Amino acid sequence: MNNRIPTSLGKPLLSTRFIGLVQKLKFLNKSILKWGGIMRIKSVEAKLYQVPLNGTYTIALGSMTQVEAVIIRIRTESGLTGLGEAMPFPPVTGADAEATLAFVRDLAPALQNYDASELGGIHTIMDKRSAGYSAAKAGVDIALYDILSRRARLPLYRFLGGSNPQVQTDITITIGSTEVMAARAKSFVEQGFRILKIKAGLDPGEDLAHLRAIREAVGPDVELRIDANQGWDEKTTLWALEKMTGLGIVEVEQPLPCWNLEGMRFVRERITQPLMLDESVHSPVDALKAVKTGAGDIINIKLMKCGGIYKAQKINAIAEAAGLSCMVGCMTETRIAITAGAHLAAALPNIKLADLDGFMEIKDEGCARGGFTRNGDILSLGSEPGLGVNVDFDAL
C-alpha cells in the first residue's frame, strides 16, 4: 500500500511534528502575550540627554542655549517597548533634569509588575510621590501610551480616537533685536509657516516695535499670536494691545503672572482677541479654576506641565464642556514628546490649535527620528503603530 507509513520512518516523523507543534504553541503564546494579553512592566529606564539648541532662546522667563531632557524606555515582559521624554523647564515645571531623572529612577521599581494599561493606577502612584515632577510624569505617561497603541497596532492618534493625521503648527519667534526677529519671521513664512507666535513681555515698548516690524516684513496674510509669558500687568496689557490695533493680533497668550486669574478675567473683558491661558493651567484642577473665574478663552495644554496624555485629556474635557477650546503647546522638546503632542492634537477635535515647533530649536533635531514629516507648517503623522519615533536608547 502506497499510503501506509513505514514504522521505521513514522516515529521520527511524529517526533518532528510534535516538536514543531510545541514551537508553534510557544510562538503563539508569545504573540498572545505581546499583542492581546498582559503587558506587565518589566523595566523602566531613564537617561539624561543634553540637547544643544540652534542659538540663544530668549523669552520673558529667561534665556538658554542648551536644555536637558530625560529619555525614558519602558519594556514589558511580553517584549513591547515604549519611548517617552521628560523635558523639564524649571520656571514652569519646577524640577530640573537631574531631579527629574532621580524621580523616574526612584519610581521605576514601584512600576514593575503593573500592567502598562493601568494608567489611572500608575498616575496615582506618581501623584502620591509628589505634587510636582510633571515632566517626569509626562515622560512615563508618553512611554505607556506608546506601548498601548503599539499593542493595539494603531498610530497613537487613532488609538486616542482621531482620524486625521495632519496638524498645522505655528512657529515661535523668540525675543531678540527687532531686525533679527523680523528677518526670522520672514524666513519662516518663506518656509511655509502661516501662523507666527511672537514672544513678548520683557519691554512693552520694544514688544510694540517688534510686532510692527514683523507685520511689515511678513505682509498682511500671516496670523500673528503674541505670548508675553507672564511679563505684563493688566495696564501694560491693555496699553500694548491698544497700541497694536491694526497689526492683526489674533490671540493673546498669558500676559499676566500665572496666579492672576482675576486679572486675566479683567483683561479678557476689555480686549477683542481670545485670551489664552498657559502657565496658569497645569492640571485639570487649574483648568476648572480658570473656567470658574472666566479667566480665558483657550487653554494651552503642554504635556510637560500636566503630566502627560492621560491628564491632558481631562483638561481638554473640562475646557470643552465649558465652551473653551485648547491648543497643544510644547517646551523645546525632541521629536519624542513633540510627536506625542501632535498625536494628541490630531486626536481631539476640541484641540483647535498647535504650537509644536520646539524640535526646530534643537541642533540637528537631537536624538530622535521619525514620528512625523513636516511640509511647511503641516506635521503629518506616520502610519506605524505607537508614536512611530526611533531612538538609539542604548547609545544615549
Cβ–Cβ < 8 Å for 366, 331 = no
Of the two residues 189 and 226, which places its CB atom closer to Mg ion in the complex?
A: 226
Burial class (CB in 10 A: 0-12, 13-18, 19+), 221: exposed
The nearest distance, CB 142 to Mg ion, in angstroms, is 20
**In this chain, which stretch among 73-81, 271-279, 306-314, 320-328 interacts with Mg ion, using CB under 5 A?**
271-279
Of the two residues 146 and 279, which places its CB atom closer to Mg ion in the complex?
A: 279
Element (H, E) at 345: helix 335-347
**In this chain, which stretch among 141-149, 222-230, 305-313, 346-354 interacts with Mg ion, using CB under 5 A?**
222-230
User: What is the C-alpha to C-alpha distance for residues 247 and 196, in angstroms, rounded to an integer?
Assistant: 13
User: What is the C-alpha to C-alpha distance for residues 84 and 144, in angstroms, rounded to an integer?
Assistant: 8
Q: Report the residue from 146, 170, 207, 227 that binds Mg ion according to the rule CB under 5 A.
A: 227
Residue that is written with C-alpha cell 536608547 in the block: 393
Of the two residues 170 and 253, which places its CB atom closer to Mg ion in the complex?
A: 253
Catalytic residue among 141, 146, 170, 278: 278
The nearest distance, CB 229 to Mg ion, in angstroms, is 6
Residues in the chain: 396
Of the two residues 227 and 377, which places its CB atom closer to Mg ion in the complex?
A: 227
Catalytic residue status for 227: yes
Q: Which residues of 94-109 are buried (b: 16+ CB within 10 A; e: fewer)?
A: bbebebbbebbeebbe
Catalytic residue status for 278: yes
Q: Any bridge partners for residue 223, and if so which?
A: 195
User: What is the C-alpha to C-alpha distance for residues 274 and 281, in angstroms, rounded to an integer?
Assistant: 16
Binding letters toward Mg ion, positions 234-253, x by CB under 5 A: -------------------x
User: What is the C-alpha to C-alpha distance for residues 350 and 323, in angstroms, rounded to an integer?
Assistant: 9
Of the two residues 116 and 299, which places its CB atom closer to Mg ion in the complex?
A: 299
User: What is the C-alpha to C-alpha distance for residues 275 and 2, in angstroms, rounded to an integer?
Assistant: 87
User: What is the C-alpha to C-alpha distance for residues 287 and 203, in angstroms, rounded to an integer?
Assistant: 29
The nearest distance, CB 28 to Mg ion, in angstroms, is 50
The nearest distance, CB 228 to Mg ion, in angstroms, is 9
The nearest distance, CB 34 to Mg ion, in angstroms, is 40
Pick out residues in 108-127 that bind Mg ion (CB under 5 A). none
The alpha carbon of 22 is separated from its chain's Cα centroid by a whole number of angstroms, namely 44
The alpha carbon of 56 is separated from its chain's Cα centroid by a whole number of angstroms, namely 22
Catalytic residue among 85, 146, 253, 361: 253
**Count of helices and strands (H, E) across the chain:** 14, 16
The nearest distance, CB 153 to Mg ion, in angstroms, is 35
Catalytic residue status for 364: no
Pick out residues in 272-331 that bind Mg ion (CB under 5 A). 278
The residue of the chain with the least Cβ separation from Mg ion equals 278
Of the two residues 165 and 255, which places its CB atom closer to Mg ion in the complex?
A: 255
Q: Count interface residues toward Mg ion (CB under 5 A).
A: 3
The nearest distance, CB 173 to Mg ion, in angstroms, is 13
User: What is the C-alpha to C-alpha distance for residues 3 and 44, in angstroms, rounded to an integer?
Assistant: 57
Q: How are beta strands 378-381 and 166-168 bridged, if at all?
A: antiparallel
Which grid cell sits at 13?
516523523
Catalytic residue among 85, 227, 251, 355: 227
Of the two residues 122 and 353, which places its CB atom closer to Mg ion in the complex?
A: 353
The nearest distance, CB 110 to Mg ion, in angstroms, is 33
Give the residue from 280, 191, 189, 178 showing the smallest Cα distance to 227.
280
Please report the DSSP string for 292-316 in residue order: HHT--SEEEE-HHHHTSHHHHHHHH
Catalytic residue among 199, 279, 357, 361: 199
Cβ–Cβ < 8 Å for 64, 130 = no
Catalytic residue among 47, 137, 197, 302: 302
Of the two residues 78 and 332, which places its CB atom closer to Mg ion in the complex?
A: 332
Active site residues: 199, 227, 253, 278, 302
Give the binding site for Mg ion (CB under 5 A): 227, 253, 278
